[in-house]
């Protein structure tokens, strides 16, 4: 997770709603080379090397807990902790990871895709690099939430434990925040039981990220995606300024390890399973509008790749911090993207979490987008149950909500956003000030191309909260945030507000329940 807290995993916008990148791959002896589509010739190996010219659209970026399922996993039927992780760590095949010192000496190792371990963690030893981060943190520099929680004593207590589903260890869990000081969260789960077995790390991190939520047994997460419970709507003035709307959620199948702890086999099995589920939409009277095409990254033709790049739909795996968790191992095997015919329903398969389910459309009909998303999640859950014969398929927990790889997305695992044109306040106040205002009503503001981008012609406004809140209430957060920016823009345009009196104008706007709530 990067420094700005946000959902893990890039969310792909429709046209005029952010940007995206894609990758292609060429199989070379002994390794797979990953080539980003970045305005240069790209090679794709499909029996012979074909030269393709592709464009890179700008990219984006940004889930956890004990699983309530008793289903067995492909790796192991038990979730009890097993001792002697240090033995398994030292016995890891060299093909599974390389160390930072090894990668520094050999340029064939790609930090954007390969699992590269801190040298000490690879030996199951306390990492000197983390000690350095923690010392610098005392001086006001970056240190991850993991780094604020983890101590040598806690590491030594947990280092000889591994989970049976994925063989996940505390060393693997904390690798990202150890290797990258600017990582915001700094730790990942390799399977659902990681959150329980390593709760002495994960629970404090979760409470620090999801401020106000307590894991002392007093709180439960409630899921509710009923669009009819929305009581706030976009004002006409705000709707006129909205370019596009999207809402996405993450889901993980509770009978597989999470992808950081998964294998190329589990990734391929998930892709094969979802292909059958997507096919079932074609024969469904209820979900026929969701029917479409599943494109596997390893099977797409150059023409299909180009079309998805041009439409800003393809995701890429290229991210160092995510790679350090194991997200991008075996790229691009087991990855794929599904789009319905109208391209308003999109599913990313094994981008990070098993499934990233996205509903989107042009304009500001947020209720329509939320309604489609709710139906799509139900359709996919029913489809997986029918294909597998299982009664429970999505990983969840009564206290942690939806289980995801990164603790930041626990709870709803949902991010809803609109791209809204507010050029006057963007110019007068800047992104940092707009984001500060948005946080007062539980929203987050980003630049025109998502996290870590500047404002070009629009602002990305989204819900901020995740854990402990229902999905429909977070959609209402989003609506209020868009209404706020729209109203403030109108005040600036009419000269009723400027940078000198913005605080007073904001106080007046907060009396509106469509902005501040009840």
Q: Which residues are annotated as a binding site for ATP?
A: 244-248, 312, 356, 415-419, 446-451
Segment (H or E) for 303: helix 302-310
Q: Is the peptide bond before 397 cis (omega within 30 degrees of 0)?
A: no
Rounded CA-CA distance 228/434 in Å is 30
Asked if 323 contacts 114 with a C-beta cutoff of 8 angstroms, the reply is yes
CA distances in angstroms from 206 to 119, 142, 149, 263, 337, listed in the order given: 27, 18, 11, 26, 30
Residues 6+ apart with CB under 8 A from 214: 207
CA distances in angstroms from 401 to 217, 233, 394, listed in the order given: 13, 26, 11
Residues 6+ apart with CB under 8 A from 448: 18, 419, 454, 455, 456, 457, 458, 459, 460
Annotated binding site: 244-248, 312, 356, 415-419, 446-451
Cα dihedral sign for 363, 451, 310, 302? negative
The 10 Å Cβ neighbour count of residue 494 is: 9
Asked if 318 contacts 352 with a C-beta cutoff of 8 angstroms, the reply is no
How buried is 95 (Cβ within 10 angstroms: 0-12 exposed, 13-18 middle, 19+ buried)? exposed
Segment (H or E) for 32: strand 31-36
Cα dihedral sign for 112, 116, 120, 126? positive
Token pair 């206290």 is found at 399
């Amino acid at each position: 997770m990067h420094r700005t807290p946000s959902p893990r995993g890039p969310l792909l916008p429709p046209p005029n709603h952010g940007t995206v990148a894609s990758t292609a791959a060429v199989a070379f002896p002994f390794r797979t080379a990953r080539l980003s589509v970045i305005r240069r010739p790209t090679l794709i190996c499909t029996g012979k090397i074909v030269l393709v010219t592709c464009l890179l659209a700008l990219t984006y970026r940004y889930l956890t807990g004990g699983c309530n399922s008793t289903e067995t996993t492909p790796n192991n039927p038990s979730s009890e902790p097993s001792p002697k992780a240090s033995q398994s760590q030292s016995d890891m095949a060299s093909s599974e990871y390389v160390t930072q010192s090894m990668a520094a000496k050999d340029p064939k190792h790609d930090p954007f895709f390969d699992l590269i371990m801190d040298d000490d963690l690879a030996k199951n030893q306390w990492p000197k690099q983390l000690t350095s981060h923690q010392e610098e943190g005392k001086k006001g520099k970056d240190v991850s939430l993991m780094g604020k929680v983890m101590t040598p004593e806690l590491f030594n207590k947990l280092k000889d434990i591994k989970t049976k589903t994925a063989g996940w260890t505390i060393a693997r869990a904390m690798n990202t925040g150890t290797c990258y000081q600017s990582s915001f969260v700094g730790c990942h789960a390799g399977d659902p039981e990681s959150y329980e077995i390593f709760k002495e790390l994960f629970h404090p991190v979760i409470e620090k990220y999801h401020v106000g939520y307590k894991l002392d047994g007093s709180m439960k997460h409630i899921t509710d995606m009923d669009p009819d419970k929305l009581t706030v709507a976009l004002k006409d003035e705000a709707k006129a300024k909205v370019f596009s709307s999207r809402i996405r959620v993450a889901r993980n199948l509770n009978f597989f390890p999470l992808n950081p702890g998964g294998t190329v086999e589990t990734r391929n099995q998930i892709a094969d399973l979802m292909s059958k589920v997507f096919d079932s939409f074609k024969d469904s009277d209820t979900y026929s509008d969701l029917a479409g095409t599943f494109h596997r990254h390893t099977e797409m033709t150059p023409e299909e790749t180009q079309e998805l790049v041009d439409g800003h739909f393809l995701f890429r795996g290229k991210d160092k911090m995510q790679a350090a968790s194991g997200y991008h191992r075996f790229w691009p095997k087991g990855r794929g993207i599904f789009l319905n015919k109208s391209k308003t329903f999109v599913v990313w398969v094994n981008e990070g979490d098993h499934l990233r389910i996205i509903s989107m459309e042009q304009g500001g009909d947020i209720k329509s987008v939320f309604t489609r998303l709710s139906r799509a999640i139900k359709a996919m859950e029913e489809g997986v149950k029918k294909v597998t014969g299982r009664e429970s398929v999505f990983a969840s927990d009564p206290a942690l909500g939806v289980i995801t790889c990164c603790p930041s997305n626990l709870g709803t695992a949902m991010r809803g956003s609109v791209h809204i044109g507010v050029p006057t306040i963007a110019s007068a106040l800047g992104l940092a000030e707009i984001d500060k205002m948005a946080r007062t009503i539980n929203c987050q503001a980003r630049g025109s191309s998502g996290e870590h981008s500047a404002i070009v012609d629009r602002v990305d406004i989204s819900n901020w909260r995740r854990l402990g809140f229902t999905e429909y209430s977070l959609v209402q957060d989003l609506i209020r945030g868009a209404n706020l920016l729209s109203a403030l823009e109108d005040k600036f345009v009419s000269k009723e507000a400027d940078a000198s009196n913005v605080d007073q104008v904001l106080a007046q706007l907060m009396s509106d329940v469509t902005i501040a709530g009840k």
